[in-house]
Structure 1
Amino acid sequence: MAATEPGSGVAVGEATPAETVRTPAAVEPGEPATPRIRSEILYFALRNWKFVLGAAVVLSCLALALVGPLLTDHTPLEFTGPTDQPPSSEYWFGTTSFGQDVYAQFVYGLRAAFLVGALGGGIAWVLGAAIGFTAGYRGGWIDDVLNMLTNVVLVIPTLAILIIVAAYLEVQSYATEAVIIGLTSWPWAARAVRSQTFSLKTREYVEVARLSGRNTRQIIATELAPNMSSYLLMMFILLFGGAILIGASLDFLGLGPSESISLGLMMNNAFLASALLLGFWWWFLPPGLGIVLIVGGLYVMNVGLDEVFNPKLREL
């Protein structure tokens, strides 16, 4: 399975055409998933401490992003009270040098992180899967064109392009930022899916589907994608975390939306106000810890899922 560096857009261990996709519980190629198989996967997932730990961390952050804003009367950019106050019963995470509630900024920043991760990662996932499946299955000149396009985008410094585009477009919303990230983060996913498709398209069940008169879209949707479902799920998790890291990087550089708040923008504001030098740890620690928890939790989940889907790695 291709191991990737989240957010870099570079595959560091791309799967080869000879590599086969791991199918859960030794499912025969082309055999539809049954309730028994799904129950077995769930059983091993709940027994895998890495998956459970990662999922618990990510879901806890998501719950705080959804419920947290309801627990404060302040808005993220509101000047609420005294400046540079450490955490207290009134201000749980303290206040900034501008008298803003750090807790309010943190919980709203979590929302922005999940939005950018889900939307940016989702766009990259759809593009990567669609291009990878099409190139790998169709082959010929279509594969040559799509592979050339993928290689061109792959060698372009992603972060540098994002910085230029974000600065030129003057990003005004996190949805726009996520779309930009998604449109530049798909190449490694496309190459990984293409490699796996090369292996799967020679299987007998694909030949039977082709002889039965199914078109390319139907074969990809009903034969190839289901047998690569575990791989696609893990790929989405990596893209999700990568989009969050890229978004935080852009915000830290001051190229994200300035009319709202995010974890990256919180760190940018803390840096500009010399919070680290002045010892205002409650200002820069929460956003940094939030990014680490979400992305780290996603990575641990991904490692756990690899063990769940691969019978050789399962912890009995």
Structure 2
Amino acid sequence: MSDVAGTPGTAAGGPAAERRFSETLHFARRNPKLLIGLGVVLAFLVTGLVGPVFVDHDPNEYVGPQSQPPSGEYWLGTTTFGQDVWAQFVHGLRSTFLIGAFGGGVAFAVGTAVGFLAGYKGGWVDEVLNMITNVVLVLPTLVVLIVAVAYLDARGVLVQGVFIGLTSWPWAARAVRSQTLSLATRDFVDLARLSGRRTWRIITAEVAPNMSSYLVMTFILLFGGAILIAAGLDFIGLGPTNGVSLGLMLENAVAWSALQLGLWWWFVPPGLGITVIVGSLYILNVGLDEVFNPKLREL
């Protein structure tokens, strides 16, 4: 990702801010990576939001003949139990974006709060927060998640998101801390400090706006990471106990020998969906980096 974005001291707006916004929008409209990545992600998001509205049955309900290939009646065919794969897919997309937003959001909130506070305050506050960050960073994340989720009586998207978020924030905290350290010594921050503003007011009004592009790209990476981690947990059977997700679709397909039986329509859509969504998020992130970083812009 690019270095700190924005011009110090111009977070409040004005002609300079409007000019920068117009310039950024100009390059964003002409960046193919950003447009393609954003377009694909939005297409899947709309499908996940709108698709379930037109499905008149539960995704796990036995509604048709068993092991039927895609047809006009069942767009993605049926499972060996007669479940509608299309219904499972659109509901799974909704769960995928929900876990990405919630898990990534928790990690983003914790990581940015720790990073801002450590980078701005420095001293013993920085040392303590940096020690906590390093401890969490070296923990075997997947093992911790497996143990934690496995012993829960009730598992759901929100609970899964909390655990993913609480184990995914350290790298974001370290990245935000490094950027905050470079901004905390700038003149406009010193002026705000001398004016008597509170710490969080300075961070939210002066520091954060000048690295807003960096924060956006950090959230996108956390979003994609949460989707991948959730899919891995679902695939090994630690997904939502009541519901459906793309990872659980893959887990069920493998458990009931869809590959050996040639039921490609059962495992290809969820696998391809996860791959394309996460891949598009990273392409989108690369496009944003090229837009926000003047050194990478293409005229």
TM-score range, shorter chain: over 0.9
Alpha-carbon offset, residue 92 of structure 1: 0.3
1:238 equivalent to 2:217? Answer no
Query: Which amino acid in the other structure matches residue 200 of structure 1?
Result: L
Amino acid of the structure 1 residue aligned with 2:271: G
CA shift digits 1:112-170 (9 cap, x unpaired): 00000001100100100000000011111111110000000000011110000000113
* 2:58–2:87 Cα contact (<8 Å) kept: yes
Question: For residue 8 of structure 2, what is the aligned residue in structure 1?
Answer: 29
Equivalent position to 1:38, from 21, 27, 45: 21
**1:111 is aligned to 2:94:** yes
Shift in Å, 1:74: 2.5
Amino acid at match of 1:212: S
Structure 1 regions of 5+ residues with no counterpart?
3-19
Match among 148, 158, 161 for residue 175 of structure 1: 158
Contact 1:238–1:299 (Cα < 8 Å) also in 2: yes
Counterpart pick for 2:140 among 157, 178, 183: 157
Q: Does 1:78 align with 2:61?
A: yes
Do the aligned partners of 2:149 and 2:155 also contact (CA within 8 Å) in 1?
no
User: What secondary structure does 1:152 align onto?
Assistant: helix
Structure 2 match to 1:296: 279
* Number of the residue aligned with 2:195: 212
What is the TM-score when the length of structure 1 is the normalising length?
A: 0.91
Matched with 1:9 is none
**TM-score, structure 2 normalization:** 0.96
Matched, 1:59 2:3: no
Whether the 8 Å CA contact 1:162–1:180 is kept in 2: the answer is yes
Distance across 1 between alignment mates of 2:153 and 2:268 = 28
What are the ranges of 5 or more consecutive residues in structure 2 without an aligned counterpart?
A: none
Identity %, equivalent residues: 64
RMSD (CA atoms): 1.1
Compute the displacement of 1:71 (Å). Answer: 2.6
1:274 match: 257
Q: Deviations over 1:258-304 (max 9, x none)?
A: 22100000000000011112111000000001101111111000000
Superposed CA deviations along residues 163-218 of structure 1, whole A, max 9, x for unmatched, are 00000113421111111111111000001111111111111111111111112111
- Aligned partner of 1:121 in structure 2 is 104
Q: Name the counterpart of 2:174.
A: 191
Q: Decide whether aligned partners of structure 1 residues 117 and 314 sit closer, same or farther in structure 2, where only a CA change above 3 A counts.
A: same
Q: Is the contact between residue 5 and residue 212 of structure 2 (CA under 8 Å) also seen in structure 1?
A: no
Runs of 4+ aligned residues of structure 1 deviating over 3 Å after TM superposition are: none
Pairing 1:100–2:79 present:
no
Contact 2:149 2:160 in 1 (8 A): yes
Does 2:295 align with 1:312? yes
Q: Is the 8 A contact 2:32 2:287 kept in 1?
A: yes
